[in-house]
Amino acid sequence: MTVLIIGGAYQGKLEYAKSLSIFDGTVADGAELGKAEYADGPTCVNRLHLFIRRLLDEGLESGEISRLILENVSDRIIICDDICGGIVPIDKRENHWRETTGRLLCELTEKADIVLRIQCGITRILKGEALC
């Protein structure tokens, strides 16, 4: 089962993920996660948006990033900040990161069994049924 949790920063996404029955206690931080570590499959990946940024900084193309992430999403909880709203950045690199993340979230939404949005600690089910 794949669970995608999205929302703004500091809204309670990780805390909610830890309450799910499929959570096994392991959390990988996207800011520190490597490609090989991701492929090996930590149960919960937090801050996916920072993992995407690291991969872009390493020179991977958007398509390569999508393939890497989408081929390894089964039986995972994926947590990502919603960074795609607001003012479009002037910096092309920042804009490319936001666009890559937004497009990947659309693809992840299609593959995920459950998609949740958490805002101010309130969980809304966008796809699937709630897990306890």
Angle 62-70/92-111 helices, nearest 10 degrees? 30
Q: Is the pTM of this model over 0.85?
A: yes
Q: Domain-by-domain residue ranges, the chain?
A: 3-127
Which pLDDT score is estimated for 113? Answer: 96
How large is the average pLDDT for residues 73-77? 91
Which pLDDT score is estimated for 48? Answer: 97
Predicted confidence (pLDDT) at residue 67 exceeds the cutoff of 60: yes
Lowest mean pLDDT among 5-19, 38-52, 85-99: 85-99
Class for the domain spanning 3-127? alpha beta
Predicted confidence (pLDDT) at residue 132 exceeds the cutoff of 70: no
Among residues 21, 15, 13, 65, the alpha carbon closest in space to that of 39 is found at 65
